[in-house]
Amino acid sequence: MSTQKRIWLTGASSGIGQSIAEQLAIEGHLIAVSARREDPLQQLADRFPGQILVLPVDMTDADAVRQVGVRIENAWGALDWAILNAGTCEYVDIAEFESAMFQRVMQANVQGTVQCIEAALPLLRKGTQPRLVGVGSSVTFCPLPRAAAYGASKAAIRYLFQSLELDLAQWNIGVTLVSPGFVETPLTAGNDFPMPMQVNSDDAAAIIIKGIEKGKREVSFPGPFITVLKLMGSLPNRLRFALTKGMARPASNKEAS
């Protein structure tokens, strides 16, 4: 990228977000980094003096997110990119189904993202070739067992960004949806199931940045994994169900009784 951009990146303390921040900083951009934990953000700022604006925040705190927007405006006056990467994942235990899990996941992944959009849009309207980026998931291409809460939240993100793209076109704000497969991060490190075609966070970040730079509507990867999911998701429901029900984790006799 030939011109320096003003970028707000959420979820920048680890995983994909940290790798994106590092690669953008190496390219010379100004980056406002947000996450709950301040120490990793400050470490980034120490490595790239003068480029990193450290703005720790809990994305579910609407007032705090608005203040982040105010601080970015005071520092730069506008945004060119907003990359809303922050989120969480929890998997359903069908024997102990709890609505509270859905509330937690939706609050973090959907409401947190919407609150960041509220803060970012006035700044993007004043930016140069502005672009709003949201991180969804490849799980939206095909329903999978135990992913009811996470998948529902990311399906909401997909619809949200595809709908916003229509309204934001009048302001020439581009929209990109990122739909990754499995990426090696501290979050996925806790998964207790196979994760085929896993991508490391640095490679994922490079793919995402390249896609944003090209103005892609959607960035999904890795290609073969995405192709398989899309094919499975496009099958007649009866056949899709037959192929995927075997992935479900059986409940124990005690749980089922």
Catalytic residue among 8, 141, 150, 221: 150
Q: Right CATH number for 6-256 from 3.40.50.2000, 3.40.50.740, 3.40.50.720, 3.10.350.10?
A: 3.40.50.720
152-207, pLDDT tens digit by residue?
999 999 999 999 999 999 999 999 999 999 888 777 767 666 667 788 999 999 99
220 three-class SS: strand
55-81, pLDDT tens digit by residue?
999 999 999 999 999 999 999 999 999
Alpha carbon distance 158, 14 (integer Å): 23
36-52, pLDDT tens digit by residue?
999 999 999 999 999 99
* Domain coordinates in residue numbering, the chain: 6-256
Alpha carbon distance 115, 108 (integer Å): 10
- Any alpha helices (H) in the chain, and if so which ranges? 15-26, 38-47, 62-76, 99-106, 112-124, 148-168, 201-213, 223-234, 237-244, 253-256
Tokens of 218: 């959607």
Query: Is the CB of residue 179 less than 8 Å from the CB of residue 137?
Result: yes
* Residue 91 is a catalytic residue: no
74 three-class SS: helix
